[in-house]
Amino acid sequence: MNWSSFSDFLAMGGYAFFVWMSYGVTALLVVAEVAWVVKQRRRSLARAQVQRSIREWSST
Amino acid sequence: MAIHWFKYAAPASFYGLAGRMIPWFTGAAVVTTLVGLYIGMVLAPTDFQQGDSYRIIYIHVPAAWMGMFTYLVMAGWAAAGVVFNTRLSGMMVQALAPTGALFTFVALWTGAFWGRPTWGTYWVWDARLTSTLILFFLYIGYMALRASIDDPRRADRAGAVLTLVGVVNIPIIYFSVQWWNTLHQGASVRPGSSSMATVMLTGMLVMAFAAWMYTIAISLARVRSIIIEREQHSAWVGELLVAEGHGRPSGTSEALPGSNEQGAR
């Protein structure tokens, strides 16, 4: 354990701005990418469902 | 039915395989990220020269490696697509590009916030930085090219050519610190000899492994959506919707509410 307290950890030896800008933006981008992939999956399934309905409807 | 399964064998079977692999790679990504961050951010000591600003290394180096390696994997799929004309290849290239772009951007971004305290500047037109910026533009260019071509198969071929031409940039990035005088430091990690303390090196390698697991998990998840989108006219996707419980079973076709009059016939 390198730190004596949590505030010590947050301060990053005076480099808090640089370290947390790096980690923060990376975390944000990863969360955004995961959310985008989840959304893309829902959308592709919904579109495929519409295609399937059209196929069934036009074959009756 | 059987004939459709045969016809779409590759993407259809890969869809299921990817679905089974995703939970494992996701789990591995989460666990290794937590372990890597614990080693790097909690256990590892402060650097005697750079202070705690060096801790950016645990994202910067894995992201830079992943940005380059993802491009090589893309180029491999692109080559396979050109040679064998398989549809899955183009889909994999398409699925990998956004994540490669993300990691390359993260490498540039964290590099800027590491450069400021250590070099005194966020950006410099040094060979390593410039060639990495070009890599980012190659990813963006690939995605823009795809987006501008309506036919997915044509987009696959055009994208494959762009990807294969751009691969020349990867050795340029890798060797830039040897070929030119750069502000960017040389490699700290080489097979057999590394100039880093063991605990720091361990944290960085665990984070690099985490980046691998994440990239595999997210691109498999993305390729599944791409497969569904591009094969949505095929019967197997219809069957799959039923099997996975996303759609109504065949026969109950009140389908598309309100589509009776302005239908798609």
The pLDDT tens digits of the residues spanning A25-53 come to: 999 999 999 999 999 999 999 988 888 88
Return the amino acid letter for A14.
Answer: G
Name the residue facing B253 among A34, A40, A60 (closest C-beta). A60
**CA-based nearest residue in chain B for residue A6:** B42
The predicted structure's pLDDT at residue B95: 97
Mean pLDDT of B20-37: 97
CA–CA gap between residue B145 and residue B211 (Å, rounded): 26
Q: Does residue A32 lie in a domain region?
A: yes
Within 10 angstroms of residue B227's Cβ, the number of other Cβ atoms is 26
Instruction: Establish if A13 belongs to a structural domain.
Output: yes
Query: Does residue A1 form part of some domain?
Result: no
The answer to whether residue A46 is domain-embedded is: yes
Neighbours of B234 (CB within 10 A): 21
pLDDT per position as a tens digit, B100-125: 999 999 999 999 999 999 999 999 99
Secondary structure (DSSP) of B150-212: SSHHHHHHHHHHHHHHHTTHHHHHHHHHHHS--SS---SEETTEE-S-HHHHHHHHHHHHHHH
Contacts of B30 (CB under 8 A, 6+ apart): none
pLDDT higher than threshold 70 for residue B6: no
| B90 pLDDT more than 60 | yes
Q: Give the Cα separation of A3 and B59 in Å (integer).
A: 20
CB contact under 8 A, A33 and B218: yes
Using one digit for the tens of pLDDT, what is the confidence trace for B142-161?
Answer: 999 999 999 999 999 999 99
Write B101-105 long-range contacts (CB < 8 A, 24+). B101/B136, B101/B139, B101/B140, B101/B143, B102/A29, B102/A30, B102/A33, B103/B63, B103/B64, B103/B66, B103/B67, B103/B70, B103/B211, B103/B215, B104/B63, B104/B64, B104/B67, B104/B132, B104/B135, B104/B136, B104/B139, B105/A29, B105/B136
State whether A33 and B98 contact (CB < 8 Å). Answer: yes
C-beta of residue B15 within 8 angstroms of C-beta of residue B225: no
In a domain, A18, yes or no: yes
Please tell me the pTM assigned to this model: 0.88
Domain ranges, residue A32: 6-59
Pick among B1, B47, B229, B252 to test the A interface (most A CBs inside 10 A): B229
Indicate the number of domains in chain A. 1
Most B CBs within 10 Å, among A45, A54, A58, to test the B interface: A45
* pLDDT at B260 > cutoff 50: no
Q: What is the pLDDT of residue B233?
A: 83
Say if A49 falls within a structural domain.
Answer: yes
Q: Which residue is it, tokens 């750079």?
A: B50
CA distances from B241 to A44, A49, B73, B87, B236 (A): 11, 7, 30, 21, 9
CA B169 from centroid of its chain's CA atoms: 17
In a domain, A34, yes or no: yes
CB proximity list for B24: less than 8 A, separation 6 or greater: none
Look at residue B256 and tell me whether its pLDDT is greater than 50.
no
Distance in angstroms (rounded) separating the CA atoms of residues B115 and B110: 8
State mean pLDDT over B82-88. Answer: 90
What is the distance in angstroms between the Cα of A28 and the nearest Cα belonging to chain B? 11
Cβ B253–A53 below 8 Å, yes or no? yes
Share of chain B above pLDDT 90, in %: 70
Q: In the predicted model, is pLDDT for residue B7 greater than 70?
A: no
| Rg value, chain B, Cα | 22
**Which residue, B57, B54, B38, is CA-closest to B46?**
B54
